[in-house]
């Protein structure tokens, strides 16, 4: 399982797949799908064209990554 850095997470698009979101949170693929199917994933999950998608804003919020796009450090 990949270890994600804050910088990598901050550079993600508007949403990611359930496997990527799970990886970021330290949740394995199978468990991520199980949690999503039971509406128990730690952040909101969307179902788009039969695929689970996770908006990155709530994911970043959960992780305490609150930088706005374009904000200088």
In a domain, residue 32? The reply is yes
Reported as a single tens digit per residue, the pLDDT across 3-13 is 999 999 999 99
pTM of the model: 0.85
In a domain, residue 69? The reply is no
In a domain, residue 44? The reply is yes
In a domain, residue 18? The reply is yes
In a domain, residue 41? The reply is yes
Can you give the pLDDT at residue 4?
A: 93
Burial 16-40 (b: 16+ CB within 10 A, else e): bebbbbbbbbebeeeebbebbeeee
- Give the number of domains in the chain: 1
In a domain, residue 68? The reply is no
In a domain, residue 23? The reply is yes
In a domain, residue 72? The reply is no
Average pLDDT value over all residues in the chain: 90
What SS3 string covers the chain? Answer: CCCCCHHHHHCCCCEEEHHHHHHHHCCCHHHHHHHHHCCCCCCCCEEECCEEEEEHHHHHHHHCCCCCCCCCC
Can you give the pLDDT at residue 73?
A: 41
Structural domain boundaries, residue 25: 6-63
């Amino acid at each position: 399982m990949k270890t994600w850095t804050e910088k990598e997470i901050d550079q993600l698009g508007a949403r990611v797949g359930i496997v990527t979101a799970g990886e970021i949170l330290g949740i394995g693929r199978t468990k991520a799908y199980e949690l999503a199917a039971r509406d128990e994933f730690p952040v909101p999950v969307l179902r788009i064209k039969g695929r689970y998608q996770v908006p990155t804003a709530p994911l970043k919020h959960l992780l305490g990554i609150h930088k706005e796009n374009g904000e200088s450090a």
